[in-house]
A and B are shown apart, each in its own frame.
Chain A
């Protein structure tokens, strides 16, 4: 009887172990699939030609598969979104965490959560209908669908993650630090920016890195506002990102072209893994405090 019970318990333990390991299995599956389907095209095209080729003409008679334009567009777009989005997100987070009365904090947090809950296609739609024509008129260019439009949409989309992660970090700063600073004669604003912010710096850094991850991985919204032309990036011209390069040709691609799309996904995946590792580094550092 007792033996039977033990077997039963072991069996259940085993089942839970398997459930626990499913996430590991998924990561493994994704990695293996991307490598298996992404590597052949890179080998055929040649890694230098693929990564540093400046021309992408997948449907031409003599097809060219250089993805440097996409890599640069993704990097520029992300950098632009960070430059615009991080300051706004940072100051909002400090205000909500330290200055705002609790009712105000609740209301603005709800608004920020609303921004986070808006689907990316809705950002894309509004960008396409308002931002793109607006940019065309304002800067007097033939088409407003450009890197600039994408940067603005991305900077709004990363705001909620930057605000909420920075807020969590700022909330966790021990009240004693701030009290000590106030007791030494610093005013409240000085305390928040010179004591609380430095104490929460690894959390804020994590927020920025998370924003980078969001921006570089966004596909649909960017697809709707960036124009999607496969050439070297320029602020007011139509551009194509790593994500949109995969999405835009997937439905009609075949052969080497299709394989090359998987290779682009692999490159994107490597970028994301690098960003995750950085994020982990900052999160771990935060634990020490």
Chain B
């Protein structure tokens, strides 16, 4: 009797919890779409805000987000992959490995507001980049370094040692083995890392507020990097909190949710693709 009561109680608690989680997700997403979709239009997506006409368009924010993503990935990929290669292929000293891994864990635990602050002090003020997209992108590089490192490291570990030994046996040097055998084996880790990083950059706001600023002008890539600009999330914050433009905020939120959905699908797709490939 007591046992079946326990069983029933635990089962009920589990179902309630799963229910709460799913209902929360659906109502959150549903509410944002309900409020945001009416504001979406071609001109909303392809124009910049005009005070003369009193219209708001988010083209600059879309472009800024894109620029920050491209710039961050371009910088973080070599750094992260290189660090992972060092950890799995070169490092023989356990102490150094321990220190590097501890540092990576520490980095991934630091809140984004602190990144924003240090990014402002170091990139904007000390290095003289001022408030600009490149300062924001560099701040995000530090934030996402552990992610790229970890995913690459995990996929490097799955490259069989016999491949390396085979290549060494044929007389290849260490660098050649890494270039021809090891690096091609970590593509899946790099792709996964990129997807996670893009997701994090799209969602990031606190680290960008003080480093990249919140201007809404349209620039090319190079000009854009050196000038201040808001990404979609920062624009949402400014429109909602400072200007009270809730319709615009919800429309941006809708776009962000669609992007999050695509990124999650891509992550699932990539992991399934590589799992299948590996078992074949």
Residue A177 at the chain B interface, CB threshold 8 Å = no
Bound together, the chains give a CA A122 to CA B236 distance in angstroms of 8
Q: In this assembly, does B151 line the interface, its C-beta being within 8 Å of a C-beta of chain A? A: no
CB distance from A186 to the nearest CB of B (A): 9
A117 with B83, Cβ < 8 A, contacts A95-B17, A126-B32, A265-B114 known: no
Instruction: Write the chain A residue with the least CB distance to B120.
Output: A250
How far does the alpha carbon of A272 sit from the alpha carbon of B26 in the complex, in Å?
32
Residue B173 at the A interface, CB < 8 A? Answer: yes
**The residue from A92, A268, A269, A275 contacting B17, defined by CB atoms under 8 A apart:** A92
- Range class of the A interface residue count: 35 or more
B83 touches A23 (CB 8 A): yes
Q: Which of A95, A187, A275 contacts B109 (CB 8 A)?
A: A275
A213 CB contact (under 8 Å) in B109, B253, B261: B109
Residues of A within 8 A of B3 (CB): 187, 190
Residues of B contacting A27 in the complex (Cβ-Cβ under 8 angstroms): 103, 106-107
* A276 interfacial contact with B, CB 8 Å: yes
User: With an 8 A cutoff between CB atoms, is A108 at the interface?
Assistant: yes
Which A1-18 residues have a C-beta within 8 angstroms of B?
5, 8-9, 12-13, 15-17
Among A24, A115, A156, A223, point to the contact of B100 (Cβ < 8 A). A24
Interface positions of A (Cβ within 8 A of B): 5, 8-9, 12-13, 15-17, 19-24, 26-27, 29-30, 33-34, 37, 87-92, 94-96, 99-100, 108, 110-115, 117-126, 128-130, 156, 159, 163, 187, 189-190, 192-193, 213, 216-220, 223-224, 243, 246-247, 250-251, 262, 265, 268-269, 272-273, 275-276, 279-280
Q: What residues make up the interface of B, taking CB atoms closer than 8 Å to A? A: 3, 6-7, 10-11, 13-18, 20-22, 24-26, 28-29, 31-32, 35, 78-79, 82-83, 85-87, 89-91, 96, 99-100, 102-107, 109-118, 121-122, 142, 145-146, 149, 173-175, 199, 202-206, 209-210, 233-234, 236-237, 240-241, 246, 249-250, 253, 256-257, 260-261, 263-264, 267-268
